[in-house]
Chains A and B, each alone.
Chain A
Amino acid sequence: MSVAIMKTKAEQAFSDAYSQVAEQLPGSDDVRVLRKKAIGEFDALGLPHRRIEEWKYTDLRNQLKEALPVGISDETTLTIADVIVALGPFAHVDAHRAVIVNGRFRGELSSLQDVSGVEVRSVADALGTTSEALKSRSAPRDDAVLALNTAYVTDGVMLDIANGTTLQKPLMLVHLRAGKAAQFNAIRHVISVGDEADASIIEAFVTLPGAARDGQVNAASDVTVGDGATLHHVKLCSDTGAVTHLANWMVNLGASCTYRGFLQTQGVSLARHQVLATFNGEDAKLDLSGAFLGADQDHIDMTVVVNHDVPGCESRELFKGVLQDRARGVVQGKVVVQPIAQKTDGKQMAQVLMLSPDTEFDSKPELEIYADDVACGHGSTVAEIDADLLFYCRSRGIPDAMARVLLTESFIAEAIEQVEIEPIQDALMASAREWLETATRRT
């Protein structure tokens, strides 16, 4: 039996916008067909809500009250100095930058001239000739968020890292929200790391001072890691104001590769990061970890699915969060081990520090194991600041508020230490520290 549900205002607006903007969206006829199909899917699915198991703790239909106008083009006048200001601690990371402002790639703000062994194209350009960018090998099924992305994607970056290439510097995809117009932006990246290649890719979502308070960002990254390759894939989501950030990472892993993903979220009102990672070749290693910092009524959801489709792979997940005021955190980690995937080694851990009694943390580990020779485990903890440690710090003259920041920092640092590239680790730590100092001052 199906029950017809009235469309919400936001659902209606997302559906209706399509006919108004379709002509202005980039892409060939093929692409147009895909977009049309996607908006049809969204129409049928609506926004995900709490009766859908995967969205039980993040009722998007209820929480997303309205749809902002779809961003199409961007003419914001900006300089590289603006980009540096918005990046904060990440400005100190020596990296090749690809800058995307309000959903559009901006070549003149980017610094990609001297990247060798990497082919870089804007997704908007690529869509003019092919719809490949929108065809992921492993898209989550019936995902309304990804459908919206496909329907409205304006731009992004296609990175093709050649076999055997070692990148000397990280590639940083900078996403800036700028200008007075509140809008919805859909961005898609397609990242392909060739066999035996070694690269670090950072996705930074930041806000230019003076940008519209409200914003909606829908970002998807389609990542393929070749055999024997190594990819460090780090995301900082520090898009402040009243921002909804919905994201999908679709990660396909080759044999004997190493993938180290890290998601840091802070200062975002409503965030949902979904990661769907699939092992396609044996003996590969994945570490997918993250740190999240929530205050006020922030709602931060990390939902990860790891598919062990082949034998002998290892997956590790460590998520640590700090919640204060009425903030809510969600960590859902699902590990699926197929019958053929013997010798799988999968572990996950979620830990949260609750700084006020009104915070909420929902942790849902799921293990679906169909093979018999595997080692899988999960754990979850919540805690307050340790009173003994606090007294120890204060007895050394460190004021109460500063001691709390120090101890909170020490808690979150254990997650950030999963990022093995030192300058990136330092920038993440500095960003977290900025958040903690601001959040603590306010209370």
Chain B
Amino acid sequence: MKVWALHLALILLLGVALAVLPPYPATTLARILVLAVFAMGYNLAFGYTGLLSLGHALFLTSGVFAAGLSAQFWGLTAGPALLLGILAGGGVAAAVGLLALRTAGVSFMIVTLMFAQAGYLAVLYFGTVTGGDEGFNLPAASRTLLGFDLSTDTPRFVAALALFAISLLLSLVLVRSSFGRSMVAMRENEERSRMLGINPFTVKLAALVLSGLYAGAAGAAYALLFGYAGANFATIQYSILPMLYVLLGGAGTTIGPFLGALLMFGLIEVTSRLARLWPVLEGMDYFLIGTALVVLVLFAPRGILGTLRERGLKWLP
């Protein structure tokens, strides 16, 4: 009860924020919501199941280009393009998982990283179709959902919030289900799970595919809402970012990924403003962010919500 109230209150609060904020910060918030969906997916694999992937940029990119290219070449509108993006994210995650899940730990990190880099090079190699480094802008005609123009503010905010809300509530239901318990069992003690009759490979593959569906949805939504598809989504940066969001907000908490994404954006904003005040800080944004993260890992290794949960808020899912 308390749990549902908290999640619904957060969604409501975000709705109000999108409605009252001026267009520029509201657009940034919409971006954060879409990236939070990506991070929620990452959290299902990493935070709950213990799968430390360095290849999620590939799943995001699959969503970006499945939506972007189908809009560009087949003239799909946002609804079907989003669906295609979700399926692409899940499908690519399944293919990668079938191979990469034969490994664990550091090898799993390396294999997923390798797949993601191969994906990045493929996007560049097929530059005539994907637009390579420059990418391409999605045709305006494709950016409509149920008759609303997603390139205008209100429909864009509503769509971002709806995607976020559905993703958040789904992940809440998922992690409180018996399948969610099996996912956590993988993270905590895989060998024991096996001796309880659970097939670790099946559980981990299912978790990775779910994670890929989230990443695909986020990628497709990003392309459709902000009108751009490009190779930058495939760079390693987009594999690292969701990990940072999740670590900052709290791995294995439902709201942690959003909180982490919000704070990282905030941190970047603050450091770039500081740099304008004191030119000596120019170009040191990432240094300051890095310092903040080191401090976090030292003093709150479970992230913000993970620490709160440890210090008494045990009911936090």
Are A and B subunits of one complex?
Answer: no
Taking beta carbons and an 8 Å cutoff, which residues of A are in contact with B?
A: none
Q: Which residues of B contact A (CB under 8 A)?
A: none
